[in-house]
Amino acid sequence: MTEISNPHDRFFKDVLSRREAARDFVLYYLPADVAALLDIESLVVSKDSFVDKELREHFSDIIYQVDLKQGDSASIYLLFEHKSYSDPLIALHLLRYMIKIWEQGVKQGKARPFSPIIPIVVYHGKSKWNAGPDFYALFDLPDGIQVYMPNFRYLLCDLSHCSDEEIKGTVTLRAAFLLLKHIFSDDLRNRLPKILSLLKSLSDKQSGLEYLETILKYLASGTDRVGAEDLKNVVTKIFEDKGEYIMPTLAEQWTQQGMQQGLQQGLQQGLQQGKLQSVRESVVENLEARFDVVPRSVVKKINEIEELSLLKILHKKSVVVDSLGQFKEVMARLME
């Protein structure tokens, strides 16, 4: 499987690929009448992926297979949108992936009827999500013609506009969703102690350590709002108290793994990557706000730039150029 390069996607997929988190999501975030139809104990996280290679910079798909209580099979499909703005074409992307899932079933000789798919979008951007949930909203047609158009509705889980109290589930899912919600917040540093404190109640020491490591890696690569010292201080304060807490200290963990220098070096490298990704996304966001659809080839070239100085120049140009063509010319000159 192709490595997911975006830190938000990596974190989301790592968390929601765990069965306990998947089970919690179904219980707490699906509509109650839908969850009541599902046999939660039968839930399996699928290893298949249906995201096109060129889109894996931006999307990660997760599929849950779960039985209906009446005995039939249902597929719950989740796609995570990690941009900091609403995607007006998300329903089109979802339809493409849904068709691929059904086509795979046909190739595998599975009999009809097709398994139903519930598409779910989990969003954590700063701006308001304003893309309509119905596929036919992409058309501007009279009612008499709409009946001939394909249609479905996706479920939106908008973490950005939930209160912290509305974020439910076990401590692992709550910590993950709270972190996703606040990852772009200026006060992230002040919120970290409360978020990480949730992990103290984990009864399994090893899984707790692994989950803490996952969160710290995400913080190191997904934001520039906290530094290495911030992370060291908050982790030491919460987890280092003469062995009182279940988890060893971060220092002990990395000593056991032969990574004594990993904290400073790894976090600094991660913070640099976080800055690069943040500027890349801002450039694309500016272009989409001004010119609507940005070609994948342009997004791909922006994501390939590793020099922060060049990205900053492109960020400035993205708000002043007169056309996408002019922007591409500027980018081509800079990359010569």
The last residue of one of the domains, among 154, 184, 214, is 184
Cβ–Cβ < 8 Å for 66, 40? yes
Tell whether 287 and 167 lie within a shared domain.
Answer: no
In this predicted structure, which of 78-87, 188-197, 274-283 has the lowest mean pLDDT?
78-87
pLDDT surpassing 60 at residue 5: no
Domain for residue 172, yes or no? yes
pLDDT surpassing 60 at residue 4: no
What token pair was written down for 305? 């730039």
Mean of pLDDT values over 211-219:
83
Tell whether 126 and 211 lie within a shared domain.
Answer: no
The last residue of one of the domains, among 165, 184, 203, is 184
Domain for residue 109, yes or no? yes
Tell whether 153 and 229 lie within a shared domain.
Answer: no
Domain for residue 95, yes or no? yes
Cβ–Cβ < 8 Å for 77, 63? yes
Strand order in the sheet with 73-81: 38-45, 59-68, 73-81, 117-123, 155-158
In this predicted structure, which of 102-106, 178-182, 229-233 has the lowest mean pLDDT?
229-233
What token pair was written down for 130? 């304003």
Domain containing 252: what range? 192-260
Domain for residue 270, yes or no? no
Q: What was the pLDDT predicted at 58?
A: 46
Q: What was the pLDDT predicted at 53?
A: 55
Tell whether 15 and 74 lie within a shared domain.
Answer: yes
Counting the structural domains of the chain, the total is: 3
Tell whether 50 and 155 lie within a shared domain.
Answer: yes
Tell whether 110 and 228 lie within a shared domain.
Answer: no
> Which residues on neighbouring strands pair with residue 61, listed in sequence order?
79
pLDDT surpassing 50 at residue 327: yes
Mean of pLDDT values over 176-202:
90
231: which residues sit within 8 A by CB, 6+ positions away? 192, 216, 219, 220, 263, 267
pLDDT in tens, 238-280: 776 533 443 344 444 444 444 444 445 555 555 555 677 778 8
User: Which of 136, 104, 134, 106 lies closest to 121 in space, CA to CA?
Assistant: 134
Tell whether 155 and 208 lie within a shared domain.
Answer: no
**Phi, psi angles (nearest 5°) of residue 187:** -100, 25
Tell whether 163 and 20 lie within a shared domain.
Answer: yes
Q: What was the pLDDT predicted at 164?
A: 95
Tell whether 324 and 199 lie within a shared domain.
Answer: no
- Angle 330-332-336 from CA coordinates, rounded to 5°: 120
Supply the DSSP string of 105-170, one letter for each residue.
Answer: HHHTTPPSSPPPEEEEEEE--SSPP---SBGGGG----HHHHTTS---BPEEEEGGGS-GGG--SS
Domain for residue 272, yes or no? no
Tell whether 20 and 65 lie within a shared domain.
Answer: yes
pLDDT in tens, 100-145: 888 888 888 876 778 888 989 999 887 788 888 999 889 888 888 8
227: which residues sit within 8 A by CB, 6+ positions away? 267, 271
Tell whether 228 and 202 lie within a shared domain.
Answer: yes
Tell whether 34 and 177 lie within a shared domain.
Answer: yes
Q: What's the CA gap between 270 and 221, in Å, rounded?
A: 4
Domain for residue 267, yes or no? no
Q: What is the mean pLDDT of the chain?
A: 79
What token pair was written down for 86? 């609403």
Q: Between residues 37 and 52, which one has the greater pLDDT?
A: 37
The last residue of one of the domains, among 150, 184, 218, is 184
Stated length of the chain: 336
Which range among 153-157, 251-255, 302-306 has the greatest average pLDDT?
153-157
